[in-house]
Chains A and B, each alone.
Chain A
Amino acid sequence: MKQLDDTELFARIQADDRYAFSELVNCYSDILFRFIQRRVSCVEDSEDILQEVFVSLWNQRHKITIEISLYPYLFKTAKYKIIDWTVHEQKKIASAEKLLASFQDAAISPTSEDELLAKELAVLIDSEIDKMPSTMKSAFSLSRKESMSIKDIASELAISEQTVKNNISLALGWLKLRFKS
């Protein structure tokens, strides 16, 4: 019942293992869907794009090399599909002004795409934390984001240290489940 890491999983996909492929779909569907739906809004279209991303991964599997994680490949594929959808399916681009306006803003120093993507992933994970039951959320955020000790969190939230520990381990389980990687 050990979780395969991305490189092992992908090696099996390259060997045409459909199980491994369906496991990959299980792992990445939720977070990729959120990434897509934030830009596409329509749930049906978002699911169509999600499907296309996985189809493209399967069809390209022999041509792709991955280093540590499949995230960059999957998200960049999703980006192309979303932009393609925007160009071909949207009558009018709602935020066109923003896209054109950013051109004049030469003061901003260039950022790599990986950095932009990492920032977005952090936001997506935060939104997952937001959905946790309230105590779990507070305990987890204080521990991971504010680096508070179990003891300090217990007194801050007026609950026992054991409860804090329980909640943090439940929260880790929750996240692990959502973003197995």
Chain B
Amino acid sequence: MKEQESSDQAKALLKKYLEGQCTAEEEQQVLRWFYAQDQPDEEQLHKEQDVGRASRINARLEEQLFHAPDPTIRRLPWFRSKWMVAAMLVALSGFSFWLFNRLSTPQQVALELAAEVPSHNQAFHNDILPGGQYAKIVTPKGEEQQLADPFVQQLEQAADQQGKNFLVDVPKAGTYMIILEDGTKVWLNASTKLSYPTHFESDQRQVALTGEAYFEVAKDASRPFRINANGTTIEVLGTTFNVNAYHDEVSTSLVEGSVKVLKEGKQTIIKPGQQATTTLTNNIEVTATDLAKNTAWQRDEFYFDGNNFSDISLQIARWYNVEFEGTEAIGTNSTYKGSISRNSRLSEVLQILALATGRKFDIIGRKVMIQ
């Protein structure tokens, strides 16, 4: 049977199914075909990962159902159909081709991060969608590239770039996961920078971090993995842990294996479930830690367990790219417990905080006001 012919025949059968005209056997046949799907291939799995999808769909639904257009997220009608785009490209000159490229490159993604949208709730002037997967990479040559796909593949490297560093820069309201050349996986939190060489040296793997990252270091006994984080060095052979280095006080929480933490000539080795914090006075404090708390961000959660409000507002400010005003009204003596999905809108997070603190919050543009 010719392909076109069998395709037409199959379409006729599917049409019957949609119209509810199938016999019991035909229905079985359609269902079996529909549900017989192979495992998706790797490439497809990667395409599927997109932490911003739910919020994008939400914004599109809001526009379609509730007529509250959001200019940064709306998919322009002429991008909607591949055929229209193709027709446009044929019809228009090179200038429009350039324009189209400009509009469809990841700059759009940058705009979507923590976008301002109209609020459902009258208590807020506007609302802000959660952050999403996004980073920028600076190559050793100084070229910048926006990364919106989930994984950084090894970039093409010229020989003259040997020994120089890549810099992955995750802005506020962004998060990103990369795989280094040795197979080490690194999840980067918002407002984080990681630099790593084009190739690791033969006797060590050295990277530099500011911000927060969750590492799953590939085992390689012959080349220790060293992280330089604001003056603290963390040294491992192969293991899983979280490093919080937003400030000079750097906390390392170990999930499995063992790591050595060094600062100014002092060093200590921690066990799974422990956290090492280097202090401004160059001491290293080891405490038992709650891993669910320290690695919650990597599972898309805010998780507070005795955090004070100033710490909570910092975490929220980073993920929604907002500033808080009037935090001093809420003292640092009170502490709060609970978890909130990082896929929530800002208004939802603030409603929960309002209950917890007994204060009223409002969002005006990118500012959170506390009354």
Contacts and interface: CB of A to CB of B under 8 A. Distances in A.
Do A and B originate from a single complex?
yes
Interface of A: 1, 18-19, 21-22, 25-26, 29-30, 33-34, 37-39, 41, 43-44, 47-48, 50-51, 54-55, 58, 79-80, 82-84, 86-87, 92-93, 95-100, 102-103, 108, 110-111, 113, 116-117, 119-120, 123, 127, 130-131, 133-135, 159-160, 162-163, 166-167, 169-170, 173-174, 177
Contacts of A19: 120-121, 348
A111 B36 CA distance: 12
Given A58-B65, A99-B33, A166-B272, A50 B299 contact: no
A84 B17 CA distance: 10
B29 A99 contact: yes
A170 B303 CA distance: 13
Given A84-B18, A170-B295, A96 B9 contact: yes
Contacts of A1: 338-340, 352
Contacts of B30: 83, 99
Interface of B: 1, 3-4, 6-7, 9-11, 13-15, 17-18, 24-26, 28-37, 39-40, 44-45, 47-49, 53-58, 60-62, 64-66, 80, 82, 120-121, 185, 216, 240, 255-257, 272-273, 291-292, 295-296, 299-301, 338-341, 343-345, 348, 352
The list of the 3 closest CB pairs from A to B, nearest first, reads A96-B10, A29-B54, A116-B35
B64 A102 contact: no
A173 B120 contact: no
Contacts of B296: 173
A125 B291 CA distance: 24
Given A29-B54, A58-B65, A102 B14 contact: no
B44 A37 contact: yes
A interface: dominant SS: helix
Nearest to B296: A173
Contact of B10 (A99, A113, A133, A174): A99
A48 B75 CA distance: 11
A163 B257 CA distance: 8
A33 B299 CA distance: 19
A99 B13 contact: yes
A162 to B, nearest CB: 6
A123 B36 CA distance: 11
Given A1-B352, A166-B291, 14 more contacts: A1-B338, A1-B340, A22-B58, A26-B344, A29-B53, A41-B44, A92-B3, A99-B33, A102-B32, A102-B33, A113-B31, A116-B32, A173-B292, A177-B300
17 contacts: A21-B61, A25-B57, A25-B61, A26-B344, A38-B40, A79-B34, A83-B18, A92-B4, A93-B7, A99-B13, A100-B10, A103-B29, A133-B240, A135-B256, A163-B255, A166-B291, A167-B255
